[in-house]
Amino acid sequence: MSEKTVLIVFPSVFSLNKMDDLEESITRILKIKKHGFVHIRKNESLIVIETADPVLVSSTIGSLFGVDRIAIAKEVVNQFEMVLTTIVNTSMSLLLNGDKFYIKVEGNSPDYLPKDLEVTATANLIEKSTDLGIKVGSEVNHNRLLYTYLTKTHAYICIFVDRGLGGIPYNSQRESILCCMFDELSAIACLQSIKMGFDAKIVIGYSNDADLLKMAKMVNRILLSIVHEKITLYFCKVHKTQDLLMKTLLTTYLASSIAKSKKIKHVALPILPFVLPVWFVEDNIQAIFENGLTPWLPLSGMDASIIENSKQLGLERYLTNLESLCKLKFVKKNISKKKIRNEVARTLKSFKSISVTVGPKSVYDIIDSLRTNH
């Protein structure tokens, strides 16, 4: 039997018309990480990767957007008996005593129905594993999923399947967006902007050394999803304030000023519409329009799903005050635009850019570059 172990990438539903972009992102990130010989090809709606180290490559691809699932699988020619034998043999090596298994086959085959393969494989596996005490489960009640995907030419019998981050591939929009990060919520807004296919240009605002360290750790998680070897980050020292409305509007004006100077058309606003009043959201949007730029609300439509997104950054522990934030009541007030502009001018005096190589030392590179200069 001719079979090989490969890594297969299932694009997210929104990436099915952006397969070339996803393939390009995967190719670039693997070259940046120097993973050695890797052969990448498409097979219908799958991206198939041949590599000597599928576990390491899977971990690297897992940081990219545009991916629904990643699987290590055995690839065989799509012939019923060959696929059936591979499913049963592979399953026997994965099952443990007492497992409740479920065989699921998806995709399309020119000669048979996926359901026929499911039923036959299930029956054969029960016959061969009577001494293991295993049981047949259902799609909603099992502890071992045995998954196979079919294309016209090949079948992929999965050994391990992991969830991807969803979204669409990096920079598949062919547009840059400026993201200003100053807390956990704005970090998630930046992550969402990348997830929507923008090329993110990141400004980090911090008030002291402890704040700088926290923000550096956050941005370091975000950098894993950016498909560049070296990334330019912008930093500025900001005045700390507990006034949420003042802080948000100040960030909007600051981001608008920097985006205009850098000729970046789009600005991400770290605003959660479920929390802030309409009049304030509109004030921030208008401030961006006044500079001839396009505002973007990456957190629009998000509710409890913000917790899931925060886990991608390892930020869930920082969001314990989100419930308190949602309980705030806001009274409409006029915020002095003159005061905002003066504060932006003062903040821009500390503006600095540094180039960072993405990797385990990114945090230290950021700290070393800024701690002695601000």
pLDDT at 140: 87
pLDDT one-digit tens code per residue, 24-33: 999 999 999 8
The amino acid at 47: I
Single pTM value for the model: 0.89
CA pair distance 351, 306, nearest whole angstrom: 30
CATH of region 176-370: 3.40.50.620
Q: Which fold would CATH assign to domain 3-166?
A: VC0802-like (3.30.2130)
Task: Locate 259 and state its tokens.
Answer: 């985006």
Angle, vertex CA 278, rays to CA 272 and CA 284, nearest 5: 70
Domain with CATH 3.30.2130.30 in the chain: 3-166
CA pair distance 11, 141, nearest whole angstrom: 26
Angle, vertex CA 128, rays to CA 123 and CA 134, nearest 5: 80
pLDDT one-digit tens code per residue, 94-114: 988 888 999 999 999 999 999
36: exposed, middle or buried (Cβ count in 10 Å: 0-12, 13-18, 19+):
exposed
pLDDT one-digit tens code per residue, 62-71: 989 999 999 9
Domain with CATH 3.40.50.620 in the chain: 176-370
